[in-house]
Chains A and B, each alone.
Chain A
Amino acid sequence: MSREIESFIVLNRFGYGPDSLGLSAFKASSMKFLVSQLEHPEIPKHLADKTGIELSHRFLTAVRANKAKDVQKIVRKDMIKDYTSFVSDIVLQRMQTKQPFVERLVAFWSNHFTVSIDKPAILGLLRDYEYVAIRPHITGKFEDLLIAVVKHPAMLAYLDNWQSFGPNTWFAKFSRKGLNENLAREIMELHTLGVDGGYTQQDVIELAKMLTGWSIEMRNRKEPYPKFQFHDKGHEPGPKTLLGRTYKEDGMNEAIAALKMLATHPKTARRLATKMAVHFISDQPPERLVRKMESAYLRSGGNLGAMTRAMLDAPESWAEPLSKVKTTPDYIVSTFRAINFTPKEIHTITSLDSLDYKPYKASSPQGFSDENEYWAAPGALIKRTEWAQEVAMRIMQKVDPFALGKGLFGPVMSAETAFALKGAESQKQGLTLLLMSPEFQRR
């Protein structure tokens, strides 16, 4: 494979595309560049900001205290502000990082463990969720990621577990609350085993029982954050049987043991390997590739770094430079990079909005799709065209679309695209075509 095609794949498939200097500015060794990110992922400290989680706390307190609707509204407004600034920060982080692959992995796992701002309290919790629960674990053991996610107030709120209590507990009698199976079901169906993972309705109930009492602090005047707390008095007593194995009554440790078992289950390995291969490599990933990733996962006791490394090592991952359509947010980030534009918050938000993408607001716990058909749907392509035109119109300095394309695509550029870029009737049209070309839509 030519050096330039390899660079194209490293930068696009495992990153957010080259900046306007193009492929030739990338001088590092491909594999070293990617592997060093896996081995030494940096945590961008400037993203750790507790404002949102504090706001969520204020919001929840206002709701609990039954404060007037307009008090809630004021807090909510601040939460929305915090949310949009978070979304903007994330876009900048993806654009400017020296570790683009790490950011791609964060985005992938964050979507695997989707939470949605459909529930207002989550607006403020997102930043902390991604920073504390997702980011530190993306190259470590999956069970650590899973447990961190399930313990985070954002997930507990999103899938209702914070108010799920054992029917036979003091807490249930007192609060008239009981079992809620939402989180338990999605853990098995979406986060681990998959829908054909061989569990039954009774397994869902048993896992839900194990998770009773996994909730948030109800009263704490010292810390202004909603924090995870296990409420023993809300935890269903007695042994529970999950997937044929009986777990003795053991408070919070029951669900910890169950989550560890689920994390290292062969069905989970299969599911995660497939999902990651579909996200990064191809809608129909070669079986050989999936098998390599799956076995790396199982051999390493469920290590995500090992599974990711297996994907990088497989020649199948480097076979075809244009197999995946970019997701909408990645299309936006790669555009900004390609034209060297540093967006302000308003640019980021309106861009996402006009492309119909609602960050952290997937329509179901399944998260956003990983498939080409979703991102390149007819309506979506028109919107991308409209937006690309809007962007192209705003570029004031002189740019030669063909030269820019040559730099960004190198030998990947097709004759059709070259013809279109050379024949454009204006710079604006040429840049629109560049941003709509298959080489820029795909990776």
Chain B
Amino acid sequence: MCHEFTRRSFLLGSAGAVSLPTFLGGFSSVAFANVPTNKRLTLVFLRGGMDSLGVVVPYADPAYASIRKNLAIKERDGQMIDADGFFAFHKNLAPLHDYYKKGQMAVIHAVATPYRERSHFDAQDLLENGTTKPNGSNSGWLNRAIQAMGGSRSTALGLSIGPSTQTILRGEGKVTSWSPSYLRVVDEDLLGRITRMYEKDALLHQNLQIAQENMGIADTQGKAARGDRAFITAMEAAAKFLAQPSGPRVAVVDMSGWDTHANQGSGAGGRLPGLLKVLSEGVTSYRQKTPDAVWNDTIIYIVTEFGRTVRPNGSGGTDHGTAGLSMVLGGRLKGGRVISDWPGLAENKLYENRDLRPTTDLRAASKAILTNHFGISNQIIDRNILPGSSGVRTLDLV
């Protein structure tokens, strides 16, 4: 299989976007002619609703141990790493804690989108469409963002990793997509013939064209990975694509499995700790595949659709909740902080007597990335990208 992949990269590496930099060598310090920005963003979507309290643990909250019961991590068990005397990282996030110490990572806690119900699908849709309602828009806010950056129908600034384009990237702005493959390469002649056959079929025609544009770039890991490795492979591919001088600028990678209704685990065993390990490894691999100069222009933005209930449910897990957390990493981040207007875990502080109360709007972080990282004006953000967010104060993050 490796052999087949080598053939692919050989074949496509010579023809596709990879050779472009040589032609434009004289302009190496400025953005390439067809790519309007050097800044990069990889959004990692943790699907299923991550249990924030098991990840960045408010261990010093007086109500923590009693309300979390069997899911509480005890300080002396060595299962967490202190962040700031109040919060601690789960031990399996140790690799991310290193970035935190360097100031290259921030955590935003008790954060939520405007969504206040508890359906995964509506919650994800709202986060992705960028409005204040599920199905509030047919396009995704990151697609509208790449349009604002100057992406067009011809310049693909968006990159979807996975078998189909995520809602957050859907829209007019051009998006390319990539997912690993097992089979042998198809040649350009065959693809040309298929394309001509699709002339009157708008959907197939457009999607085949998008696919062809992507095939050359991710030269790593053509082999599709299994299970846990799949996320790590996806992160490595995203890093490779985004490292290209004239490649896409905004990537979206999914990781699922966070819907921990049962046997969630807290310290060493269970589902959540396992997921955290994979998440850490994915981020670390991404960083390793990113040249230092690019890392300074990069942000990794990790989001989930909602948090989970504060109290454990009846099955050693947690049910769908409201506020959760988000993590942001990057070479030039104002990090090393857990940003939170902490609502508290006491019974009377909970949202609807069950969930962590949202005190920060997730769009505050999104806006920070859009304005301070990508330089998009507040006016465009409020009008086009995150409509209805003008009252949301931008976080001091980037």
Residues B262 and A163 in contact, CB atoms below 8 Å apart: yes
User: Residue A94 at the B interface, CB < 8 A?
Assistant: no
Given contacts A373-B203, A380-B164, contact A165 B314 (CB under 8 A): yes
10 closest pairs, A vs B, by CB? A178-B314, A377-B164, A378-B211, A386-B183, A378-B210, A379-B179, A182-B261, A163-B315, A382-B211, A420-B197
User: Residue B236 at the A interface, CB < 8 A?
Assistant: no
Q: Which residues of B contact A386 (CB under 8 A)?
A: 181, 183-186
| Closest chain A CB from B100 CB (angstroms) | 30
Q: Which residues of B contact A107 (CB under 8 A)?
A: none
Given contacts A172-B314, A180-B317, A429-B190, contact A378 B183 (CB under 8 A): no
| Closest chain A CB from B370 CB (angstroms) | 26
Given contacts A195-B121, A382-B181, A385-B190, contact A438 B204 (CB under 8 A): yes
| Closest chain B CB from A28 CB (angstroms) | 30
Residues A378 and B208 in contact, CB atoms below 8 Å apart: yes
User: Residue A36 at the B interface, CB < 8 A?
Assistant: no
Residues A178 and B193 in contact, CB atoms below 8 Å apart: no
| Closest chain B CB from A172 CB (angstroms) | 7
Q: Which residues of B contact A165 (CB under 8 A)?
A: 314
User: Residue A118 at the B interface, CB < 8 A?
Assistant: yes
Which B196-210 residues have a C-beta within 8 angstroms of A? 196-201, 203-204, 207-208, 210
Given contacts A164-B314, A377-B207, contact A195 B262 (CB under 8 A): no
Q: Which residues of A contact B190 (CB under 8 A)?
A: 385, 389, 429, 432-433
Which B170-226 residues have a C-beta within 8 angstroms of A? 176-179, 181-186, 190-191, 193-194, 196-201, 203-204, 207-208, 210-212, 214-215, 224
Complex Cα distance, B194 from A432, in Å, reads 9
Given contacts A417-B197, A429-B193, contact A179 B257 (CB under 8 A): no
| Closest chain A CB from B24 CB (angstroms) | 26
Given contacts A160-B317, A180-B261, A185-B320, contact A378 B201 (CB under 8 A): no
Residues A378 and B177 in contact, CB atoms below 8 Å apart: yes
Residues of A in contact with B (beta carbons under 8 Å apart):
118, 159-160, 163-165, 167, 172, 176-182, 185, 189, 195, 201, 204, 325, 353-354, 356, 363-364, 366, 372-374, 376-383, 385-387, 389-390, 414, 416-417, 419-420, 423-424, 429, 432-433, 436-438, 441-442
Known A201-B118, A387-B183; further 18 A-B contacts with Cβ < 8 A: A172-B314, A180-B317, A181-B320, A182-B261, A185-B320, A201-B117, A356-B163, A377-B177, A377-B207, A378-B210, A379-B179, A382-B208, A382-B211, A383-B179, A383-B181, A386-B181, A390-B183, A438-B198
Q: Which residues of A contact B48 (CB under 8 A)?
A: 364
Residues B315 and A177 in contact, CB atoms below 8 Å apart: yes
Residues A160 and B261 in contact, CB atoms below 8 Å apart: yes
26 A-B residue contacts at CB 8 Å? A160-B317, A177-B316, A178-B313, A180-B262, A189-B121, A195-B121, A201-B117, A201-B352, A204-B118, A354-B181, A366-B120, A373-B165, A373-B203, A376-B207, A379-B177, A381-B208, A382-B186, A382-B211, A382-B215, A383-B183, A386-B185, A389-B184, A389-B186, A414-B200, A433-B197, A438-B200
Residues A167 and B314 in contact, CB atoms below 8 Å apart: yes
Closest to B205 in A: A438
Q: Which residues of A contact B70 (CB under 8 A)?
A: 176
Q: Which residues of A contact B197 (CB under 8 A)?
A: 416-417, 419-420, 433, 436-438
Residue among A363, A372, A381, A389 with max Cβ neighbours from chain B (10 Å): A381
Q: Mark B209-248, 1 if CB is under 8 A from A, else 0.
A: 0111011000000001000000000000000000000000
Overall SS of chain A's interface: helix
Residues of B in contact with A (beta carbons under 8 Å apart):
47-48, 70, 117-122, 134, 162-165, 176-179, 181-186, 190-191, 193-194, 196-201, 203-204, 207-208, 210-212, 214-215, 224, 256-257, 259, 261-262, 313-317, 319-320, 352
Q: Which residues of A contact B317 (CB under 8 A)?
A: 160, 180
Q: Which residues of B contact A366 (CB under 8 A)?
A: 120-121
Q: Which residues of B contact A376 (CB under 8 A)?
A: 203-204, 207
Q: Which of B185, B256, B316 contacts A364 (CB 8 A)?
A: B256
| Closest chain A CB from B124 CB (angstroms) | 9
| Closest chain B CB from A334 CB (angstroms) | 16
Closest to A162 in B: B315
Residues A416 and B177 in contact, CB atoms below 8 Å apart: no
Given contacts A163-B315, A353-B182, A363-B256, contact A185 B134 (CB under 8 A): no
Complex Cα distance, B197 from A353, in Å, reads 27
Q: Which residues of A contact B191 (CB under 8 A)?
A: 385
| Closest chain A CB from B241 CB (angstroms) | 13
Residues B204 and A441 in contact, CB atoms below 8 Å apart: yes
Closest to B199 in A: A416
Complex Cα distance, B257 from A118, in Å, reads 9
| Closest chain B CB from A380 CB (angstroms) | 6
Q: Which residues of A contact B314 (CB under 8 A)?
A: 163-165, 167, 172, 177-180
Q: Which residues of A contact B211 (CB under 8 A)?
A: 378-379, 381-382
Closest to B170 in A: A373
